[in-house]
Structure 1
Amino acid sequence: MAMFPATMSPIVTFLFPIWTDTMNPGLTLTFGQGNLYPACLIILRHSPVTREKIQEHITNQNTKFHLPEDPKGKKENLNSERPTRVLTETRHSQREDQSLGKTTGLPTTKLAEKRQRTKTLFKKFNEMNWPLDIRPLNKTLVQDNKWKKTDETQEKRRSFLQEFCKKYGGVSRPQSHLFHMVSRIYVEDKHKILYCEVPKAGCSNWKRILMVLNGLAPSTYNISHDAVHYGKHLKKLDGFDLKGIYTRLNTYTKAVFVRDPMERLVSAFRDKFEHPNSYYHPVFGKAIIKKYRPNACEEALNNGSGVQFKEFIHYLLDSHRPVGMDIHWEKVSKLCYPCLINYDFVGKFETLEEDANYFLQLIGAPKELKFPNFKDRHSSDERTNAQVVRQYLKDLTRTERQLIYDFYYLDYLMFNYTTPFL
């Protein structure tokens, strides 16, 4: 075990899973107050961060812990070490298999034919041109001059992300398979838009907008939280065959809305662990308390309530988490693959209403449709902002704060967010 004094300045500069195969998995490092972190998570300052390393991380992301949105579906995969989305096992590839012709005969014959169809799918996927071309926004439907400043900001964001991806993301064939890459993208065919869902960045109200655009509701104000998240009314891009996916990716307007990573993380913790929750407390809370709280009382171990932010951070930074990752605190780079899909519109939670309403103008949405500004749940709580985040971070050590920043480092880089309070 390597020991470091509590008074030393942070030595951690970068955190990506791509280096874990070069570190000693049995080594642990102790910082300050006796907090243990596996050495495979720690990159010391003398380790160079190269363009090739960032490229590899952008294009070769692990799909193991991406979980479906339905809590029932999530629960089945939480403790599994098997990938939740493998090309030969997904319902999407099975549907594609069926479209190529049903098989009959002995099991061994079926297996051989299935393997051949899988090879065909891989071939089609690899023949696609990656990254996708970024297209200029069609501004012919924008009739109001008040959007000039918003448009200038949008062009700067697009340009920044494009230049970042040119520099670091220049790999033509991603290793993550297509159906996983587009599994968070919602489709609205009438106005030809694709929206990548980033939880805790306004996604609930965006789904309300999509439901209205799809003719599923007359107004965003009449749609309940449960209808938004569990109604299964909206189409996702991974529900189409390869041709349908590729056509939409290359012809529809693609949008992603992001948020300062620290704010998004704290917002997720407050939502899932500081309020009653029939899924996150028993599934995540119990496991977190059991592993990271010494001498936990029986009640906490039984119901999983009362998880502390510091315990949650220990779970987040642990390379051997007792439960898998969740989309509410997963990195945007692993949810939406910005350097491969090349989004046409980059909105930010910090300017959510302005960005969203400008986007609605761009796509020709009905004039009366405006992005809702109400809070989906826990409306009496103060919104998570920079001041709230500081209150949560003050209970962490400087090293822990640095590790969180390192965990979301790529999101900070891609979307030009400033370095947080550390």
Structure 2
Amino acid sequence: MSKTRVVACLVVVVVVTWYAISFQHLQLRATQPPAATTTTTTTHTQSYQSYSEEKWKSVMHGRLARVAKLCRQHPQALNRFDLFSVFKSLTVDPAHHLVYCRNAKAGTTAWLSRLLQWAGISFNTTADVHTIADQAFPMVATDRILRELKRSSLTFTVARHPFTRLVSAYRNKIEENYKPERWSEIMRKYRTPINITTEVNNSRPTFREFALFASDEVLRCLGQARPSCLDEVDVHWLPHHDRCAPCNINYDVIAKMETKDEDEAYISHLLGLPLPPPTQQNVASGSLLRFPHQNLFLNAECKKIGALETEKIENITRTSTRLLRPCRFFFLLIRFPVWRLGIGSARLIRLYFGSS
């Protein structure tokens, strides 16, 4: 590793530590044990025949233990002090004592649809899900959230590989003309070679330009003591640990989009609520929930990034650590295989983040 890269890494750690050191006392980790596992037997559909409750209980224990360890090792850097912003991301179902932290571009629509189904609330299309969920589970007062977090409610959140999530955000936000008024600004700042005559009309940011823009939005907050800084970052690429604060909230389940089927079966068992019958399962996990270019929850699609996107990410990470720096603590907290990023990126991640 070059001396410059080592220095840059140390600077990031020091800045983040300084950023949060005054607010460690706001940690809300509950002292109660995780929600008790119900004895209700859940009948799983054929899609879940490979699910083993004991095996997944062990998997989840490993995930939670790793998060707890990293939270103890980096309390100043990983604790969130602006918890009201975190609470705004929580969906609370008081009837089932269920608290879900929404992480944009990590299956939010699918998980909200599951909460609605568990609550016996119907919906027709994915366009209805967020509106109906907001009505069914309105934001509750802070004191009510604190009570739910301190009681035996089941709390869960969903993570996704940050680079896959970034590709999804690009497809969903750039290719579908999300906030096009910012495109010229992005292209003029990141398009190379830098030239004031660079053509930006009738064009849109490339994946490289978008990825660097999204990363820089997060990086600028590392040196900011303003609580509002992270609030200004678009939630579709705000790091998961900044939005859902796993070091402040004692989650019972940290699911992954890449293991959605098993995680969903495990949560269903903990709640004592059945999974939907096969026809509903196929609708919720398949044709209803689609991005423009891929099925959101087919495991074959979730477990890999397309070859083109992999090459794009590989090219960026080979020449710059800017795409990696905002994800540093996420990669430490939530283990994801690095093989999917290509050999060059995998080596860079090992060098930059270490093997722990």
TM over 0.5, shorter chain: yes
Change (3 A) 1:170 1:134: farther
Q: Does 1:241 align with 2:160?
A: no
Aligned AA (1:288)? I
Larger relative helix fraction: 2
CA distance in 2, matches of 1:146, 1:320: 43
Cα deviation 1:145-186 (Å, max 9, x = unaligned): 93221111111111111222122227999531x321211111
Change (3 A) 1:394 1:48: closer
Moved more, 286-295 or 159-168: 286-295
Contact persistence 1:253–1:344 (CA under 8 A): yes
Alignment gaps of 5+ in structure 2: 43-50, 222-230, 296-300, 346-356
- 1:373 corresponds in structure 2 to 285
Aligned AA (1:309)? F
Aligned residue runs from structure 1 range 104-253, under 5 A: 130-133=28-31, 135-143=33-41, 146-169=52-75, 175-176=81-82, 178-217=83-122, 222-231=123-132, 232-236=134-138, 239-251=139-151, 252-253=153-154
- 1:118 corresponds in structure 2 to none
Aligned residue runs from structure 1 range 13-412, under 5 A: 43-44=7-8, 49=13, 53-54=16-17, 57=20, 130-133=28-31, 135-143=33-41, 146-169=52-75, 175-176=81-82, 178-217=83-122, 222-231=123-132, 232-236=134-138, 239-251=139-151, 252-274=153-175, 276-277=176-177, 280-293=178-191, 294=195, 295-297=197-199, 299-300=201-202, 306-318=204-216, 324-368=232-276, 372-374=284-286, 376-378=289-291, 380-381=293-294, 383=301, 385-388=304-307, 389-396=309-316, 398-400=318-320, 402-412=321-331
How many angstroms does 1:260 deviate by? 1.2
Change (3 A) 1:235 1:179: farther
CA distance in 1, matches of 2:268, 2:333: 24
Contact persistence 2:174–2:205 (CA under 8 A): yes
How many angstroms does 1:242 deviate by? 3.3
Aligned AA (1:355)? D
Alignment gaps of 5+ in structure 1: 1-7, 14-42, 62-125
How many angstroms does 1:249 deviate by? 1.2
How many angstroms does 1:216 deviate by? 2.5
Change (3 A) 1:351 1:264: same
Give me the TM-score of the superposition, normalised by structure 2.
0.73
Task: Tell me which of the two structures has the higher relative contact order, counting C-alpha pairs closer than 8 angstroms and 6 or more residues apart.
Answer: 2
CA distance in 2, matches of 1:327, 1:250: 26
Contact persistence 2:79–2:248 (CA under 8 A): no
- 1:36 corresponds in structure 2 to none
CA distance in 1, matches of 2:294, 2:77: 44
Q: Does 1:12 align with 2:5?
A: yes
How many angstroms does 1:380 deviate by? 4.6
Moved more, 162-171 or 199-208: 162-171
SS in 2 for 1:257: strand
SS in 2 for 1:187: strand
CA distance in 2, matches of 1:129, 1:314: 32
Contact persistence 1:331–1:408 (CA under 8 A): yes
Change (3 A) 1:298 1:403: closer
Contact persistence 1:59–1:174 (CA under 8 A): no
Contact persistence 1:10–1:398 (CA under 8 A): no
Cα deviation 1:196-231 (Å, max 9, x = unaligned): 1111211110011122233331xxxx5323212344
Q: May I ask how many residue pairs the two structures share in their alignment?
A: 304
Change (3 A) 1:379 1:320: closer
Aligned AA (2:313)? L
Change (3 A) 1:179 1:142: same
Aligned AA (1:378)? F
CA distance in 1, matches of 2:40, 2:22: 35
SS in 2 for 1:141: coil
Change (3 A) 1:373 1:138: same
Cα-Cα RMSD: 3.5
CA distance in 2, matches of 1:195, 1:211: 12
CA distance in 1, matches of 2:323, 2:167: 11
How many angstroms does 1:387 deviate by? 4.6
Aligned AA (2:163)? M
Contact persistence 2:29–2:247 (CA under 8 A): yes
Aligned AA (1:361)? H
Asked which structure has the greater CA Rg, the reply is 1
How many angstroms does 1:46 deviate by? 6.3
Contact persistence 2:80–2:242 (CA under 8 A): no
Aligned AA (2:135)? H
Percent identical across equivalent pairs?
24
Aligned AA (1:417)? F
SS in 2 for 1:299: coil
Change (3 A) 1:262 1:244: same
